[in-house]
């Protein structure tokens, strides 16, 4: 039986007031709702770890102790530890306005480079063929357009240009917009899904209920825009729900958990013996494009990566394989010595052709990517 503890209750109240301040600062900075949830949860764990002490009474030592606990006792991944660090630093710098010294005594989680899960084209066909609608169309967009699951679910009618075979991703990761391709196989299904979404939006308009959420202050500037066809979700939810930020009753899009669950069940029915997730379809999109001869910079732009090294990790280009296109393999090296096949290459490719640092196992020399003449 719990006993009355004034210190515990007062500490909890102070923590909640602090979290309200942090929530307000996050929303002023236009952070996403998911980032807001994650940051607040990490700050709660940080306060509980130090027995509900107020962060104003803590500093460098307490932050280092918490991060070391995550790495040593909880054995979290490096990305999870960095996420916790970013949340705590946001609390001190942006909310409490306290600048922490350099955290040099933190035990860092050991970083392990892992290759992404990639499906073969046959596995992708069987997987998409066993998904129920509209999850099959969502999976087709993940694989055919390289979208993240959140980007596919947040598509609005105005962002799909079927005539140009183009999708516009609004407010993607990092708050960036980008254009990507729309696969021919998804066009007809997307047209039918848009018709269903517009029918749901028209029903909401006639009943004057629901409507979709609008970004920023558009709802105040255009009060009836929530019923306009252009702003409707392509994948609307079946029921109305309360928005956690505004408290308004609106029609949200399909939840990503339902899509993840459908993909896992379809992979189990098909018999794919890999840890299949929605993101595996995005990995497969990039890898299959690369295998078909697409340039690494093009794939980087379609995926929305700021750094080409991120694209190389996604597409398993950490090492060099013989089935990669010549343009990609040449871009990985900087040695300017040339080999005997240069005169046979087109002028544009010739300028990029290098005698590479490829050293086969058991060999003392280097070889050209065309496997033409050993280089000395």
DSSP 169-226: E-S-GGG--EEEE--HHHHHHHHHHHHHHHHHHHHHHHHT------STTHHHHSTTGG
Q: How many domains does the chain have?
A: 3
Q: Does the annotation mark 178 as catalytic?
A: no
CA atoms within 13 A on the CB side of 212: 29
pTM of the model: 0.74
Read off the pLDDT of residues 39-52 as tens digits, 9 standing for 90 and up.
999 999 999 999 99
Between the CA of residue 161 and those of 52, 187, 197, 225, 356, what are the distances in Å?
52, 10, 16, 20, 42
- On whether residue 277 sits in a domain, the answer given is no
What is the SS3 assignment for 256-269? Answer: HHHHHHHHHHHHHH
> At 39, which CATH number?
1.10.150.130
- On whether residue 366 sits in a domain, the answer given is yes
> At 183, which CATH number?
1.10.443
**Domain enclosing residue 38, as ranges:** 6-95
Mean of pLDDT over the chain: 81
Annotated catalytic residue: which of 156, 226, 305, 353? 305
Given a cut of 70, whether residue 349 has pLDDT beyond it is no
Between the CA of residue 328 and those of 119, 280, 347, 359, 368, what are the distances in Å?
21, 22, 17, 17, 14
Q: What is the pLDDT of residue 149?
A: 96
Q: What is the pLDDT of residue 342?
A: 38
Q: Does the annotation mark 279 as catalytic?
A: yes
Annotated catalytic residue: which of 173, 196, 252, 301? 173
Q: Are residues 264 and 348 in the same domain?
A: no
Place of tokens 């090296």: 333
Given a cut of 60, whether residue 245 has pLDDT beyond it is yes
Q: Are residues 196 and 253 in the same domain?
A: yes
Q: Are residues 163 and 237 in the same domain?
A: yes
Specify the range with the lowest mean pLDDT, choosing from 32-46, 190-204, 207-221, 245-259.
207-221
Annotated catalytic residue: which of 314, 329, 353, 354? 314
Q: Does the annotation mark 27 as catalytic?
A: no
Average of per-residue pLDDT across 199-214: 93
Band the pLDDT of 315: cuts 50, 70, 90.
Answer: low
Given a cut of 70, whether residue 344 has pLDDT beyond it is no
- On whether residue 1 sits in a domain, the answer given is no
Q: Tell me which residue of 125, 116, 118 sits closest to 266, measured CA to CA.
A: 125
Annotated catalytic residue: which of 44, 279, 301, 316? 279
Q: Are residues 138 and 247 in the same domain?
A: yes
Given a cut of 60, whether residue 330 has pLDDT beyond it is no
Annotated catalytic residue: which of 148, 250, 251, 283? 148
Average of per-residue pLDDT across 121-139: 95
Q: Are residues 253 and 337 in the same domain?
A: no
Q: Are residues 126 and 212 in the same domain?
A: yes
- On whether residue 295 sits in a domain, the answer given is no
Q: Are residues 85 and 175 in the same domain?
A: no
- On whether residue 288 sits in a domain, the answer given is no
């Amino acid at each position: 039986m719990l006993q009355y503890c004034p210190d515990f209750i007062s500490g909890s109240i102070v923590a909640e007031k602090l979290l309200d301040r942090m929530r307000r600062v996050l929303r002023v900075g236009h952070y996403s709702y998911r980032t807001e949830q994650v940051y607040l949860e990490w700050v709660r764990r940080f306060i509980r770890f130090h027995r509900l002490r107020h962060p104003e009474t803590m500093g460098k030592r307490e932050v280092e102790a918490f991060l070391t606990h995550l790495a040593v006792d909880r054995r979290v991944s490096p990305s999870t530890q960095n996420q916790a660090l970013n949340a705590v630093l946001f609390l001190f710098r942006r909310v409490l306005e306290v600048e922490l010294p350099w955290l040099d005594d933190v035990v860092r989680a050991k970083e392990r480079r892992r290759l992404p899960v990639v499906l073969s084209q046959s596995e992708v066909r069987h997987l998409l063929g066993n998904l129920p609608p509209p999850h099959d169309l969502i999976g087709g967009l993940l694989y055919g357009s390289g979208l993240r699951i959140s980007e596919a679910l947040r598509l609005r009618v105005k962002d799909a240009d079927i005539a140009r075979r183009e999708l516009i991703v609004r407010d993607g990761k990092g708050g960036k917009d980008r254009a990507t391709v729309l696969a021919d196989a998804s066009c007809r299904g997307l047209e039918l899904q848009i018709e269903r979404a517009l029918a749901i939006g028209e029903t909401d308009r006639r009943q004057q209920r629901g409507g979709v959420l609008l970004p920023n202050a558009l709802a105040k500037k255009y009060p009836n825009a929530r019923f306009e066809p252009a702003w409707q979700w392509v994948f609307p939810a079946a029921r109305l729900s309360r928005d956690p930020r505004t408290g308004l009753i609106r029609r949200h899009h399909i939840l990503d958990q339902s899509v993840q669950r459908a993909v896992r069940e379809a992979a189990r029915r098909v018999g794919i013996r890999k840890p299949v997730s929605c993101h595996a379809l995005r990995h497969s999109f990039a890898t299959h494009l690369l295998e078909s001869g697409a340039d690494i910079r093009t794939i980087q732009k379609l995926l929305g990566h700021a750094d080409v090294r991120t694209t190389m990790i996604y597409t398993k280009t950490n090492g060099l394989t013989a089935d990669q296109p010549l343009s990609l393999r040449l871009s990985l090296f900087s040695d300017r010595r040339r080999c005997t096949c240069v005169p046979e290459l087109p002028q544009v490719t010739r300028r990029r052709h290098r005698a590479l640092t490829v050293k086969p196992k058991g060999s003392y020399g280097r070889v050209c990517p065309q496997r033409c003449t050993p280089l000395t």
